């Protein structure tokens, strides 16, 4: 959480956010499996897609910025 707020670079912040999203996805998945509650699965899917798209966007932005 500290790296997300103070991270020395934008890539450090993006990586910290990725880890936070991964932990959130795992938590939602464990809760859904434990309670056998399938209504949270669409939320799980949306959070993982948002995390993936965010990671790819940050990576593409970083590559473009470094090539200039």
In 3D space, the residue among 10, 6, 14 whose CA is nearest the CA of residue 66 turns out to be 10
Cα–Cα dist 43/6, whole Å: 29
Query: Across the chain, what does the average pLDDT equal?
Result: 86
Residues 6+ apart with CB under 8 A from 62: 10, 11
pLDDT band for position 4 (50/70/90)?
confident
Write down the pTM of the prediction: 0.77
**What is the arithmetic mean of pLDDT over 11-38?**
91
Q: Is the pLDDT of residue 25 over 70?
A: yes
pLDDT band for position 22 (50/70/90)?
very high
Q: Is the pLDDT of residue 66 over 90?
A: no
């Amino acid at each position: 959480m500290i790296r997300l707020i103070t991270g020395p670079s934008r890539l450090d912040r993006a990586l910290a956010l990725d880890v936070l999203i991964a932990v959130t996805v795992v938590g939602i998945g464990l809760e859904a499996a434990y309670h056998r509650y399938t209504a949270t699965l669409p939320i799980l899917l949306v959070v993982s897609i948002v995390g993936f798209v965010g990671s790819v966007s940050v990576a593409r932005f970083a590559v473009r910025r470094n090539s200039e």
